[in-house]
């Protein structure tokens, strides 16, 4: 059994981790921590977890490293880099669901996140855990940076087109929508029911922190520096990401040409599903699952391609992908514990 610990187990991503790992056949949850709820039984915080007899402990990552094979960090940005050390990594593996190890350029991280990076000695060792693209790099590593939710959906949607140089890299525009759980469980006026219900809004226009993450990973794929436009929107639903991506095509391509590019990279990827021609992804078809659905159409009038991707922000965009990374690290079937269809209706 893989002995796991979760630091930050009472946030939305943390609770989704608990839900998945509690029924994972190869996992034993040894420790869960919470700064806000230490000493409380997990079932008192989330009544849907009454069957899980686990008390939230005060976080001590050094002690956890001694008894856990892997520790999941579900923490705000700027926190993980102050906790993870080489000594910790000598004893356990780390999967960080936060942003601290996603960007390899610390100066870019500090510019966008407005906080110093406190683990510059470890940063080069971190692997970006987008499983379908970096699977071989993930194997055997000690620290995995679990990608962001917007970034997972956006990168997977565009990767084959960028890799095959089928689009003009200077024309990429990503218009993305997220459910309210993407904002976390903390109290904020902007996520109150009255503020969100019956409304949709763009936010952090031209300044969202997932922008450099998308740019960095797509730049690796293309071999060229990419600068793109990314605009996120908050929608009145609990969970889900829908990313609509636009780019000018470099040639006159048919639907079959584009589909061949996606099949080249994704035909053996269980968790990526290409929709049929004329059918486009919807968040309800991926909710509560680790699937990423992708569909596209060629706008012949403008010679642009429009790609739509959909994921569950808490599952493929956070906890499900983290468990997928764990499965890869421990060389077990990648689908173990996360092979479930979407929940609908809900």
Does the domain formed by 2-125 have CATH 3.90.930.12?
no
- CB-based contact 81:100 (threshold 8 Å): yes
Provide the residue count of the chain.
346
Residue 187 pLDDT exceeds 70: no
Say which CATH topology domain 150-311 has: Dihydrodipicolinate Reductase; domain 2 (3.30.360)
For 13, 62, 130, 325, 338, the CA distances from 147, given in Å and listed in that order, are 13, 25, 6, 11, 17
Task: Please confirm, yes or no, whether 149 is among the known catalytic residues.
Answer: yes
Residue 169: HSE in the Cβ half-sphere, 13 Å Cα cutoff: 19
Largest CA distance in the chain: 62
Q: Which of 56, 68, 131, 149 is catalytic?
A: 149
Q: Read off the pLDDT band of 80 (50, 70, 90).
A: very high
CA distance 185 to 34: 13
Average pLDDT taken over every residue of the chain: 95
Q: Are 21 and 323 spatial neighbours (Cβ–Cβ below 8 Å)?
A: yes
- Give the pLDDT of residue 58: 92
Residue 326, SS3?
Answer: helix
CA distance 104 to 109: 8
Query: Please, what's the b/e burial string for 327-336 (b: 16 or more CB within 10 A of its CB; e: otherwise)?
Result: bbbeebebeb
Q: Where in the chain is the domain with CATH 3.40.50.720?
A: 2-125
Residue 185 has pLDDT above 70, yes or no: no
The encoded tokens of residue 103 equal: 């960007």
Q: SS3 string of 150-175?
A: HHHHHHHHHHHHHHCCCECHHHCEEE
Is 115's pLDDT higher than 90? yes
The overall pTM is greater than 0.85:
yes
Q: Is the pLDDT of residue 192 over 80?
A: no
The order of strands in the sheet holding 173-178 is 201-202, 229-234, 173-178, 241-248, 304-311, 292-299, 272-274
Tens of pLDDT, residue by residue over 253-295, are: 999 999 999 999 999 999 999 999 999 999 999 999 999 999 9
pLDDT tens per residue across span 222-235: 999 999 999 999 99
Pairing of strands 143-145, 229-234: unpaired
CB 9 within 8 A of CB 34: yes
């Amino acid at each position: 059994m893989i002995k796991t610990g979760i630091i930050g187990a009472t946030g939305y991503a943390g609770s989704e981790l608990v839900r998945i790992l509690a029924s994972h056949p190869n996992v034993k949850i040894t420790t869960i921590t919470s700064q806000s709820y230490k000493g409380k039984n997990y079932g008192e915080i989330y009544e849907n977890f009454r069957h899980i007899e686990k008390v939230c402990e005060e976080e001590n990552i050094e002690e956890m490293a001694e008894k856990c094979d892997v520790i999941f960090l579900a923490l705000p940005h700027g926190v993980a880099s102050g906790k993870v050390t080489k000594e910790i990594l000598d004893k356990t593996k780390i999967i960080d669901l936060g942003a601290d190890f996603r960007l390899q350029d610390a100066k870019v991280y500090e510019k966008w996140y407005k906080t110093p990076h406190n683990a510059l000695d470890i940063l080069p060792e971190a692997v970006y855990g987008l499983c379908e693209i970096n699977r071989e790099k993930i194997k055997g590593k000690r620290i995995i940076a679990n990608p962001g939710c917007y970034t997972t959906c956006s990168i997977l949607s565009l990767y084959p087109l960028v890799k095959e140089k089928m689009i003009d890299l200077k024309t990429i525009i990503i218009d993305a929508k997220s459910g309210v759980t993407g904002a976390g469980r903390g109290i904020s006026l902007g996520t109150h029911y009255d503020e969100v219900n019956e409304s949709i809004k763009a936010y952090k226009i031209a300044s969202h922190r997932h922008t450099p993450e998308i740019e960095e990973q797509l730049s690796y794929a293309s071999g060229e520096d990419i600068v793109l436009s990314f605009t996120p929107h908050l929608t009145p639903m609990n969970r889900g990401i829908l990313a609509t991506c636009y780019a000018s095509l470099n040639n006159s391509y048919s639907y079959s040409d584009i589909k061949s590019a996606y099949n080249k990279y994704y035909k053996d990827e269980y968790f990526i599903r290409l929709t049929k021609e004329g059918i486009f992804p919807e968040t309800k078809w991926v909710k509560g699952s680790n699937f990423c659905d992708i569909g596209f159409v060629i706008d012949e009038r403008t010679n642009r391609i429009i790609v739509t991707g959909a994921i569950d922000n808490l599952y493929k965009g956070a906890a499900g992908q983290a468990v997928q990374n764990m499965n890869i690290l421990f060389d077990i079937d990648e689908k173990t514990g996360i092979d479930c269809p979407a929940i609908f209706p809900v």
